[in-house]
Structure 1
Amino acid sequence: MAAACARSLGQIGRHAFFTQSCRTGNVAAIVPRISVPGSARAYGTGGARFRSKLLSAAPLRAGGRALGCAFLLGGGIGLYQTVKFNFQRHFAEEEAEESSSEVKFTLYQYKTCPFCSKVRAFLDYHGLPYEIVEVNPVMRQEIKWSRYRKVPILMVDDTVQLNDSSVIISTLKTYLVTKGKKIHDILICYPEMKSTNESGKEVIEYNNKYWLMLSEAEIEQLYPEKDSRKEEMKWRKWADDWLVHLISPNVYRTPSESLASFDYIVREGKFGTFEGFFAKYVGALAMFFISKRLKNRHNLQDDVRQDLYKAVNEWVSAIGKKRKFMGGDRPNLADLAVYGVLRVMEGLESFDDMMEKTKVKSWYRRVEKAVQHHEGHN
């Protein structure tokens, strides 16, 4: 409608400006035909001499041109205002729709937890805004409302609770790819299973947690290379079942490393003054001895650094020299998982040693850049 009105105004303006009535000798379009009763002459239709005298006056010619210009100017201003209004309304509606459909994420975490770091890497890479609630690792009052007492926990719109880092990542990735399913409906595909671990303690596991719940068409689009989906799942599981167990024995390898690690944990975590002092010194000593038990449990070498070096070099070899990431030109879920686990060692001696004595540095910096720049946002 706005375009039609503008066209009409423009036509009127052009007609008034370019019509023959603006030329000397033609007054038919300017002076109306007025008939006087009883007279055979219609004023404005007189002879050529009469018309010529009437229109030879400059003011009348200028008035005609001014009228045309006025119509053109009015039409242009009207079109501008109409288009401006429509664009403003369109963008306002889009913003309102986006704000109303935006999902709210709240992550309950320990900053130095490798599983929490995995989730943050995924959220940051995909540019998903989220709030962080740092949980006190001693009292855990921040998650007292949850029967699931581990972190990370991700709350969606304060109503849907996602537990376990791999379940969180698989659920959100499915949600981002499908765009038609609700998170609550996707979560049903990852049922809880209670089991007993080696120590006889009851634990909760989740079925299918490395699977994305996609259609065949979506799978082909997300995993164009043959076996790339299986490869991603394999290395995601490897990060959870092997790589993550190399972190504690390495960051608590010696008393001095253990103290440095707890200094970092206390500084970055949520501790009270007394809790922080106790955790730093007593916790550091305790974890030094616990790391020795972990080394035996996971059959690690006496020099646990060698196991760390071997693991990350194995990861780099699996990527190969022709790919920037395991996902090709972009990080996939395995890239983000391995990066998230290794990232918790940053600032510690174990991290510096790993970057210096393995081939992981170039890949690590590429993923770091991709995560910091939210390159998976689109």
Structure 2
Amino acid sequence: MAAACARSLGQIGRHALLTQRSNTGNFAALAPRISRQGGVKTYGTGGTGFRSKLINVAPLRGEGRTLGCAFLLGGGIGLYQAIKFTFQRHFAEQKTDAPETEPKLTLYQYKTCPFCSKVRAFLDYSGLPYQIVEVNPVMRQEIKWSKYRKVPILMVDDTVQLNDSSVIISSLKTFLVGKEKTIAEILICYPEMKSTNDSGKEVIEYNNKYWLMLSECQADQLYPEKESRKEEMKWREWVDDWLVHLISPNVYRTPNESLASFDYIVREGKFGTFEGFFAKYMGAVAMFLISKRLKRRHNLQDDVRQDLYKAVNDWVSAIGKTRKFMGGEKPNLADLAVYGVLRVMEGLQSFDDMMENTKVKYWYRRMERAVQQHTGQNGH
């Protein structure tokens, strides 16, 4: 449109020059509605939609050339301003459309910790960039600044500390869906509760940690099916209360499996040379014995593989044959939690046995692709 206006102005200017050369003697041929006595006269929109006012125009001989030059100059200035405005609007739109800056995230973790793996699965699926600080599981110097001495810990912009894997995931998901409140404001909705367990040890729990703090409209968009929100919460809690407790008894089931597991832990974890040697052999023996105690605590069968197989098959049955994921066409938070916990066994005998003796394989491979491809980043 700007270019068309400039061309119209240029044509009028050229016409004015030609009119002068044709000895019209006055400006009446160019603008017949302009008064010969001068003064103010407005002439209406014609085919080009052009409207202007000529003020005190005297139809003196020889001024046609000057007026034509004025039209040409005005057309050039108009074209410049139009181009300038177009570029300014273009850059403004680019700035408006640019994605908001994501918070800076730093995850303090053990790589082989199932709770840490849950958080990484969520972050990767959501396409959120984050830094990892691998914590030495013996000295834990990397988190000595924190009163909370467990992992995972997620720091947001180096100022806000999130503890507990489910609180971390619920807080971040709430933020990504709404972005109406800061993560610090959202975190207030998950208060700490201190209590004493059966052993007399103080433990910290968090209220509402499986609940997303969404408006009714946001909840309807995220959970279009009537019962999908309750289903997601139920299975997220199941992961923390049951599935995660099957991992250690299975990966440390026999002395050989325990040694293989600690070999993997030492390779992937943050250990010094001597410390790694000590951890591999002494840790393997210790965890083999601890796994027996965990088996009794959680009332597992003598063959703990059977509990793992049943749990995984229960999960697959809950998804059903018509859904790719529990979330439908894409994973929900329960899918990500189960996947995050199970994948810590990859490379170990327990993982191979699970894939061979249960129905989880196809779901697991779909989850693997979804997380690796960050398919949740465009639809938080």
Q: TM-score, normalised by structure 2?
A: 0.81
Alignment partner, residue 83 of structure 1: 86
Alignment partner, residue 98 of structure 1: 100
Once the two structures are overlaid, the 10-residue window that deviates more, 348-357 or 214-223, is 214-223
Aligned equivalents of 2:180 and 2:360: distance in 1? 38
Aligned equivalents of 2:164 and 2:303: distance in 1? 31
Alignment partner, residue 9 of structure 1: 6
Q: Which runs of 5+ in 1 are unaligned?
A: 34-41, 45-63
Cα offset, 1:198, TM superposition: 2.4
Aligned equivalents of 1:132 and 1:354: distance in 2? 29
Cα offset, 1:257, TM superposition: 1.2
Alignment partner, residue 229 of structure 1: 229
For 1:190, what is the secondary structure of its paired residue?
Answer: coil
Q: Which runs of 5+ in 2 are unaligned?
A: 30-59, 63-67
Residue 109, structure 1, aligned to residue 109, structure 2: yes
Cα offset, 1:158, TM superposition: 1.1
Contact 2:152 2:165 in 1 (8 A): yes
Aligned equivalents of 2:329 and 2:77: distance in 1? 54
Aligned equivalents of 2:146 and 2:197: distance in 1? 22
Amino acid aligned to 2:237: K
CA 1:27–1:346: 2 relative to 1, 3 Å: farther
Contact 1:14 1:72 in 2 (8 A): no
CA 1:105–1:28: 2 relative to 1, 3 Å: farther
Amino acid aligned to 1:328: G
Aligned equivalents of 2:353 and 2:75: distance in 1? 75
Contact 1:192 1:206 in 2 (8 A): yes
Cα offset, 1:126, TM superposition: 1.1
For 1:203, what is the secondary structure of its paired residue?
Answer: strand
CA 1:289–1:214: 2 relative to 1, 3 Å: same
Once the two structures are overlaid, the 10-residue window that deviates more, 283-292 or 308-317, is 283-292
Alignment partner, residue 346 of structure 1: 346
Aligned equivalents of 1:130 and 1:364: distance in 2? 24
Cα offset, 1:29, TM superposition: 10
Residue 276, structure 1, aligned to residue 276, structure 2: yes
Contact 1:21 1:29 in 2 (8 A): no
Amino acid aligned to 1:91: Q
Backbone CA RMSD of aligned residues: 3.1
- Could you report, residue by residue, the CA deviation over 1:73-95 in whole angstroms, capped at 9, with x for unpaired residues? 99778755653454245535765
Residue 255, structure 1, aligned to residue 252, structure 2: no
Alignment partner, residue 321 of structure 1: 321
**Pairing 1:105-254 to 2, within 5 Å after superposition:** 105-254=105-254
Aligned equivalents of 1:29 and 1:144: distance in 2? 95
Q: Percent identity?
A: 72
CA 1:200–1:77: 2 relative to 1, 3 Å: same
Cα offset, 1:139, TM superposition: 0.6
Q: TM-score, normalised by structure 1?
A: 0.82
Cα offset, 1:317, TM superposition: 0.2
For 1:344, what is the secondary structure of its paired residue?
Answer: helix
Cα offset, 1:8, TM superposition: 3.7
